[in-house]
Amino acid sequence: MALILLVGMTFTGCKKDKSSTDTGLSGTDIAATQDAESQDAVAENVDNLTDNQMDFVEANNFNSAIQKSALGTGTSWTCTSPIGTSVTDTIHANAFPKKIIITFGDTAINGENLHYTGTVTVTDSLPATAHLPWKNFIIRKIKFANFGIASDSSSITVTGTRTVTRSSVKYTPALSAVTLKTTSLRLDIKDAITANLTFAIICGNYTGTFTRIIDRTREAIAHFSKVPKYATAGDSVWRQIYVKDTLTLNGSVIGKNLQDSTYSRVITTPITVTRCPLLVPIISAGKMTLTNGTKTATLAYTADGCKTVVTITKGDKTKVIERRINRKFHKWW
């Protein structure tokens, strides 16, 4: 689902509702929970979009002379490092700190009927004790400066910063008992994530904002298997086994929601993202406590085929809703 559609389709009517004062699980309670889930989904999409841009930049060794349609018409980027500008080779790519500025100029990406504007500045740095390979130790700070996504009737504008600090990278190979060669590989990456972001929403005549102050950890586990490159005997290639991948989150998010109330989302049992047999990403397990103003509810996540089911519990009242996510499993991010 395109990011902008989340605004019109999943936020509750794109309007504020402060009318409920009851202590049960009211329609307003459910709407507030749906909005909280939608806020997470919007934030995930913004993260994914930024990651996609950085995947392309890194794949071209940070060479700012290369401009391709993958970044979208009207989008440009520049890169500077201690060695100089326009980093063009792997030696320069290993120089830090590095700053990448991605400028969106009324950009359309992947044929979407959306327009991207504003600037995203990514600063990659390393701790003093780091050594190659650099991706095992990188600290990535992402600054959004009026980064906007708009359709004809709706828009989202993001400001603030998000920082991802790599804490661990572990490779676990499995050997064939016959050939003693590596046949499969497990890659386990752990990150600490902090952020302070503001999302401004316009949907028709409705305007509103929500904020997210994030303090989370993330563990991504990817599985790879070596398979024949051709039908006949010969070279082998590594292939990712997506259905085995997992993404686990812990920590909290606090801020103000679209109803102008303070909220918090505290994970009490790790949130686990997996893929169903159709490779659709789903939240298959986990619990969190959601507080909106003075009201508190517990959210429990389970899988139903290729759907994420959220059970909302408040006192002795329960309600089940569906949660749509659009989380991409990145090799590094």
Amino acid type, 250? N
CA-to-CA dists, residue 265 to 220, 287, 291, angstroms: 21, 10, 7
Backbone angles phi, psi at 3, to 5 degrees: -55, -45
Say how far apart CA 135 and CA 153 lie, in whole Å.
Answer: 40
Exposure on the CB side of residue 254, measured as CA atoms within 13 A: 4
Question: What pLDDT is stored for residue 87 in this prediction?
Answer: 45
**Residue 135: band (very low, low, confident or very high) from pLDDT cuts 50, 70, 90:** low
171-200 pLDDT per residue, tens: 898 877 777 778 889 999 999 999 999 988
Say how far apart CA 63 and CA 57 lie, in whole Å.
Answer: 7
Q: What is the pTM of this model?
A: 0.79
If one counts every other C-beta atom within 10 angstroms of the C-beta of residue 318, the result is: 13
273-332 pLDDT per residue, tens: 999 888 888 899 999 999 988 889 999 999 999 889 999 998 889 988 887 655 554 444
303-316 pLDDT per residue, tens: 999 889 999 998 88
